[in-house]
Amino acid sequence: MNETRRDIPRAGASKLPRILVVEDEADLALLLSYNLEAEGYSAETVERGDEAELRLVESPPDLVILDWMLPGVSGLEICRRLRAREATRTLPVIMLTARGEESERVRGLSVGADDYVVKPFSVPELMARVRALLRRSRPERIADRLTAGDIDLDRETRRVRRGARDLHLGPTEFRLLEYLLERRGRVFSRAQLLDGVWGQSVEIDERTVDVHIGRLRKALSRGRERDPIRTVRGAGYSFDETYGKI
Ligand code: CA
């Protein structure tokens, strides 16, 4: 089904899933591309619907985030045309709609959008939907399992093992470990972890992060086992990138 794809290889980005953001609000487009790149995708943004059409024909990405109201051609029309062309019939599309436009949401789904998100939305939630949709459409692009040394996290079964031992993590500890493992070596402040793991809209004391890091450590390491979570004084936490390597 991909024989009609014509990828334009870009240096260093050829293996990353490519996401096209079609959004005419410059601040939102910037916020999305920043967050998509932080999640490990290659992001490109265009402002106009007609410009998006050209990009989509030239070089279909792996997923499109498509605003409804656009100059040039509307998001609805773009989605309809994507579905009509063989090369993009199954291309994952997430539509962005303004709050309260219930009838538009229904129309968006009726022209074949895979998902929709109502503005204003939480960025971590949109990132989770992007990940879920990419996993459904191209499972080989997003690993089901994250491993570091003897630690193995399986997203499909939600099981975490260290060596032969099953670890019993609460849902927050699971997501925290998943988040840190996906970005191993990077140091996150408590505020960044709250945004990335709990979501921007929640108001939780930053000390909550310490409590869950403590629980995660307790579940991960027994006795003299090496602790893979690094505390970086004055900065935050990271999953030790040398774990399992040295
Ligand atoms: Ca718009």
pLDDT value of residue 78: 93
pLDDT of residue 108: 66
On whether residue 90 sits in a domain, the answer given is yes
The CATH number for 158's domain is 1.10.10.10
Residue 129 forms part of a structural domain = yes
Question: Does 30 have pLDDT greater than 90?
Answer: yes
Residue 182: HSE in the Cβ half-sphere, 13 Å Cα cutoff: 20
| CA 77 to ligand 1 centroid distance, Å | 14
Instruction: Report how far ligand 1's centroid is from the alpha carbon of 140 (Å).
Output: 32
User: What is the arithmetic mean of pLDDT over 163-168?
Assistant: 94
Calculate mean pLDDT across residues 24-46. 93
Is 169 found in the same domain as 97?
A: no
Mean pLDDT confidence for 156-173: 92
Q: Is the pLDDT of residue 233 over 80?
A: yes
Q: Which domain holds residue 181?
A: 142-239
Our count of domains for the chain comes to 2
Domain closes at, from 76, 103, 137: 137
pLDDT confidence of residue 136: 80
pTM for the whole structure: 0.56
Are residues 128 and 202 both part of a single domain?
Answer: no
For residue 120, is the peptide bond before it cis, meaning its omega torsion is within 30 degrees of 0?
yes
Burial of 116 (0-12, 13-18, 19+ CB in 10 A): buried
Domain end call among 118, 137, 156 = 137
Same domain flag for 149 and 98: no
* Cα 207 to averaged position of ligand 1 atoms, centre (Å): 38
Q: Which helix (H) or strand (E) holds 62?
A: none
Same domain flag for 92 and 165 = no
Do 22 and 130 fall within a single domain?
A: yes
**Pairing between β-strand 63-67 and β-strand 145-148 as defined by DSSP bridges:** unpaired
Co-location of 24 and 126 in the same domain? yes
In terms of domains, do 24 and 128 share one? yes
Whole-number pLDDT of residue 157: 85
- The answer to whether residue 74 sits within a structural domain is yes
Q: Are residues 22 and 132 in the same domain?
A: yes
pLDDT tens-digit map of 58-79? 888 999 999 998 999 999 899 9
pLDDT at 100: 64
Q: Are residues 23 and 132 in the same domain?
A: yes
Average pLDDT over residues 193-199: 82
> Measured in angstroms, how far is the CA atom of residue 24 from the centroid of ligand 1?
5
171-195 burial, b at 16+ Cβ within 10 Å, e below that, comes to: ebbbbbbbbbbbbbeeebebebbbb
Q: Which CATH number covers residue 22?
A: 3.40.50.2300
The CA 88 to ligand 1 mean position distance, Å, reads 22
Q: How far is the CA of 42 from the centre of ligand 1 (A)?
A: 22
Predicted confidence band of residue 192 (pLDDT cuts 50, 70, 90): confident
Picking from 137, 160, 187, the residue at the C-terminal end of a domain is 137
